[in-house]
């Protein structure tokens, strides 16, 4: 059974390579910490990977 629909997730997009994906806030660093794109290894603050303001708020809420 897939419970993913009920889980909180943050939608991400890489500003460098345009990879887009979703991740649980548990698997991400805080918004003001550095994070590396799993596709191209670009390192930026996690906040720069969040797709929308709402995704950023979700991340902040859980960190």
Please work out the total of residues on this chain that contact Zn ion, with binding judged by CB under 5 A: 8
Instruction: Tell me if 16 contacts Zn ion by CB under 5 A.
Output: yes
Residue 31 to residues 3, 24, 27, 57, Cα–Cα distance (Å): 25, 13, 12, 9
> Could you say whether residue 61 binds Zn ion (CB under 5 A)?
no
Contact status: 40 vs Zn ion (CB under 5 A): yes
Locate tokens 């918004």: which residue?
A: 31
- Six-digit token string for 21: 């994906």
Closer CB to Zn ion, 2 or 27, in the complex: 27
Site of interaction with Zn ion (CB under 5 A): 14, 16-17, 19, 37, 39-40, 42
């Amino acid at each position: 059974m897939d419970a993913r629909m009920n889980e909180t997730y943050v939608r991400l997009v890489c500003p460098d390579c345009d990879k887009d994906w979703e991740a649980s806030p548990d698997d991400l660093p805080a918004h003001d910490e550095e994070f590396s794109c799993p596709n191209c290894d670009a390192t930026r603050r996690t906040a720069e990977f969040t797709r929308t303001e709402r995704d950023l708020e979700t991340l902040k809420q859980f960190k």
